Amino acid sequence: MGIDIYNNILYTINNIIFKGVERMLAQEIKSLLSEKVLTQIKDKSIQNIIRGIIFNSSNKIDWDDALYRVYKNMPELIMEEVTQNEK
């Protein structure tokens, strides 16, 4: 079982870092940011500022980079995605 989990983690990291938006649509990344990242910010004003930036359709955001930074700084989310992919 340990090797399977390790392989799933590597597969997930590969998809996140190297395939990025090809694998995960921008809307899914926005949902991830909203549900998993912004909820960790206790200050509602800061949450609202960041939401306004993320969800403003006229902003040009590099979603590959955004996703990479989320997983780089919150590696526990990689494990959550691996667990969901196993189901």
pLDDT beyond 50 at 38? yes
Is residue 68 very low, low, confident or very high in pLDDT (cuts 50, 70, 90)?
confident
Q: Please state the domain extents for the chain.
A: 2-12+21-86
Model pTM? 0.55
d(CA 57, CA 32): 17
d(CA 44, CA 2): 40
Q: Which stretches of the chain are DSSP H helices?
A: 2-14, 26-32, 44-54, 63-73, 76-86
Is residue 26 very low, low, confident or very high in pLDDT (cuts 50, 70, 90)?
confident
pLDDT beyond 70 at 18? no
Range 32-49 average pLDDT:
86
